Amino acid sequence: MNLLKKATMLLASLAIVSGVLMPVAVVAQTPQQDACEGLKLTGGSCGGSANTEVQDILTTVINIFSFIVGVTAVIMIIIGGLRYITSGGDASNTKAAKDTILYAIIGMVIAVLAQVIVRFVLGRVG
């Protein structure tokens, strides 16, 4: 029972201290400024030009798609490797596994080249 009282007092004191100190630690920013900072936007309504905002949004979207393509390609390479290992020497299964690995690598190369092209174009436009 004594332990329960101590634990309750500890939790209550932590709640009081966090309630007192929490407002001090909060930085006075508007939700719009928080969103701009979170998305790393500087253009348009975030304090820069609208052209910069569009470029920042495009860059963010391209980065997200590149991440998704990269993760998918790595998963497909792993799947192709597992298929290759479990093919048991069957020529058709071995060829299918090799094709899976090859296509995943080609997909990664295309995603990297697309990233380079988009960055080049955005650099020339901006």
Residues of the chain with pLDDT under 50: 1, 7, 10, 14, 17-26
Model pLDDT, residue 63: 84
Model pLDDT, residue 26: 47
pTM of the model: 0.55
Q: Which of 76, 67, 62 is nearest to 114 (CA)?
A: 62
Which helix (H) or strand (E) segment holds residue 100: the answer is: helix 91-125
Cα separation, 55 vs 62, in Å, equals 10
Q: pLDDT tens digit string along 69-95?
A: 889 999 999 999 999 999 988 999 999
DSSP 107-125: HHHHHHHHHHHHHHHHHHH
Model pLDDT, residue 85: 94
Tell how far CA 8 is from the center of its chain.
Answer: 40
